[in-house]
A = this chain, B = another copy of it.
Amino acid sequence: MKKYSVIGKRLPRVDARDKVTGKALYTDDLSLPRMLCGAILRSPLPHAGIVGIDTSRALKLPGVKAIVTAADTPQIKFGIISRSPKYMDEYPLAVDRVRFIGEEVAAVAAVDADVALEALDLIKVEYEELTAVFDPQAAQKPGAPQLHGHAPKNISREYHIKKGDPAKVFEQCDHVREDRFTTQSAIHGYMEPRAALASWDQSGKLTVYTSTQTPYYVQQHLGLTLAMNPDNIRVIKPFVGGGFGGKSDGLSSVEFCAALLAKRVDRPVKLVCSRDEEFTAARRKHPTQITMKTGVKKDGTILARKCRAILDGGAYCSLGPLTTILMGTFQTLPFKFDHFQYDGYRIYTNKPPCGAMRGHGGPQVHFAQDAQLDMIAEDLGLDPLEMALKNGLQTGDESAAGFKIVSSGFAECLEKVAADTGWQQKRKAKKKDADKAYGIGLGCGGFPSGAGFYFSKTTSAHSTVIIKAGEGGGVNVFTGASDIGQGSDSVICQIVAEVLGLPLEDIHLTSADTHLTPPDMGTYSSRVTVAAGNAALNAANLIKAQVFQSVADELEANPDNMIALDRRIAVKGSPDRSISFTDAVNLYQKKNSGAPLVAQGSYNSPDPLSPTYSFGAYICEVEVSLLSGEVRIKKFSAAHDCGQPLNPMSVEGQIEGCIGMGIGYAISEQLIFEDGQTLNPSFLGYGIPTADRMPEIKISHVITDDPHGPFGAKETGEGSLDPAAPAIANAIYNATGVRIKDLPITAEKILKGLEGCGR
């Protein structure tokens, strides 16, 4: 590994101090003169026609300034996947019909939140109730209510992959297993609820501050749904308190209603969702039913896979059509399948729309896959880790879904995590007390580092970064990349600092403001480090080349023989022949009539699927109460190949966060519905693990030097989630002999299983 100054260092994030001192301003912290407060009226019914809306009483309430309904909108449908009109199935305010409890029906702007909420109660909506369907199987049956005219049998999206001939190969396998897994409805639980502040100027230009992962798409979709040129809309992402995929839909009704109300009242309007609204009406993870069939040789070599998945999509598309694809493709990581078949079906139901959530289809299928491989290993008397080693994708391989593996540290991850934990000894020396059982389990993962495609038609690069070097020696960096807490601002600053030999504090970053920063598609698909990172790298290299040339001219040296280090540009090997970066920039300006040194770098994925893939192997150790079924996660050992960790602290933060989220997904989190109504819309009822539930975590960085990543870096933020839940499920099985194929693995289910085992 090369020696770097800034890259690979455990540096505090550039915004860390502002965040921990409460100085960082989130959307709800912003205030504009004469600002009003907005609130959204939501449907109380899962499926109904809207016969009429009477706002007259509400409008009479003192302090109410405006109420908008679909009648006040251009009634244009949107959908983040706007390349296909059939995925644009949703109005930002319901037109004539509502399809889930919580759907947006009207919005109010008032002098304060109390008045706005009171006004909501005074709006009278006359509904004509329609038969609702909540179960994806029922929804496909003849006679079921049809949610959308364009989707017979309520099939929102189907997707099929076939490679080789699994059916035939199964016959040749030594062992074939078919299991059925189900996963629950889960939600992101980001700390900051969605919020938007909209303001219009008098020339008809709109500015929206919003808690989003995708300012570029918000700009485009607001333009679409408001029937105006997106160029006249400026979208600014302030600090964002998490997204995890829940703020990546390109538009939410929050932004739309804030903009519409602000236009109506000609005053700024801020709209902030309550936690209740987040739990009942925001995007969430698809509940799924997965039938997985895998055939192997008796030595554990995987020969074939066939998988059928049903995704309960909820009432609208959101990013679900993509989830339907990814549940097929993501299970082709990190293992080889020569014969592979996937059939995925996403079904409309009268529940809140499901979309992207960290891992985006991966956690569901990886839970199924690793649990099944664990069972197969047991069936064959093999060590599941050895079996994983045998089947792992290596550098140069191509997965069954066509993912080209340009660097893989998967085998090393397995070896590392086995050594870290004493895997083999612990598997053998299984411990059990009178009332407690101890177990250890493995989970594996692999994940793309960004998608190579676009959701919409655009001629813009995936990411562009512009750098301007100033006479004071600092550089101003402009990126559209959206830091939502994952640390992309810091990564971009580190890359630029490394290239230019500057300390982090000399990098002045402006990010995620559609009027100031060049287009970037947003934060999703674990794309930012590679896409925006490479764009930053390209821009910084162009700046460096110009600075080197200026210094070379001055020192009569060869520009190819220079280094940038410690705020100086020096001739390699001759530290006395050097000039400060500041002076070098000023030399450049002098030679260019004072024109500032500006460069831009763009990046597009060289592969339409993804430029490269991360890998990981996680081992979980659990303690299960045989009396109560309660699971305590004792320890997680993670070995993750994210190429070159640009900032190990950030990588570890992502892994720790994924483990926390994985624990919730595996054993405690779940949205419970009754007739389309969320029964537990609060942190108290939903079950996100609290800090005291976090286990000891040991992280090993498996370093590969990826040819596509900036400084060899790959993703960490999503791939690290995939192995967590199956590692826990397998550890619980290892401890108790109870195999639960239905997430979450609650104490109740374990106890029931223990009873079935004769305890």
A243 at the interface (CB under 8 A from B): no
Contact residues of A between 501 and 522, Cβ < 8 Å to B: 505-506, 508, 510, 515-516, 518-519
Who on chain B is nearest to A504 by CB? B203
Chain B residues within an 8 Å CB radius of A31 = 31, 33
Bound complex: CA A649 to CA B508 (Å):
39
Give chain A's interface residues, CB within 8 Å of chain B: 14, 17-18, 21, 23, 25, 29, 31-33, 201-205, 223, 229-232, 234, 266, 458-462, 464, 466, 468, 470-474, 476, 505-506, 508, 510, 515-516, 518-519, 586, 589-590, 592-596, 598, 600, 602, 604
Report the minimal beta-carbon distance from A553 to chain B, rounded to whole angstroms.
15
A23 touches which of B14, B202, B461, B508 (Cβ 8 Å)? B202
In contact, A232 and B594 (Cβ under 8 angstroms): no
In contact, B202 and A594 (Cβ under 8 angstroms): no
In contact, A604 and B594 (Cβ under 8 angstroms): yes
* A508-B518 CB under 8 A given contacts A459-B594, A460-B471, A600-B598: no
A459 touches which of B17, B223, B471 (Cβ 8 Å)? B471
A17 touches which of B203, B594, B602 (Cβ 8 Å)? B203
20 residue pairs from A and B, CB less than 8 Å apart? A14-B203, A18-B201, A25-B32, A25-B33, A31-B31, A203-B505, A204-B505, A229-B473, A231-B472, A231-B474, A234-B508, A458-B471, A459-B594, A460-B589, A460-B594, A461-B595, A466-B468, A470-B519, A508-B515, A519-B596
Chain B residues within an 8 Å CB radius of A14 = 203
Report the minimal beta-carbon distance from A147 to chain B, rounded to whole angstroms.
33
Report the minimal beta-carbon distance from A390 to chain B, rounded to whole angstroms.
41
Bound complex: CA A570 to CA B18 (Å):
51
Chain B residues within an 8 Å CB radius of A230 = 472
Report the minimal beta-carbon distance from A591 to chain B, rounded to whole angstroms.
9
Chain B residues within an 8 Å CB radius of A205 = 505, 508
* A604-B593 CB under 8 A given contacts A459-B471, A510-B515, A515-B476: yes
Bound complex: CA A618 to CA B232 (Å):
43
Bound complex: CA A556 to CA B473 (Å):
45
In contact, B596 and A464 (Cβ under 8 angstroms): yes
Which 5 pairs between the two chains have the least Cβ-Cβ distance?
A: A461-B594, A17-B202, A231-B474, A231-B472, A459-B589
Who on chain B is nearest to A32 by CB? B25
A464 touches which of B460, B464, B516, B594 (Cβ 8 Å)? B594
In contact, B598 and A466 (Cβ under 8 angstroms): yes
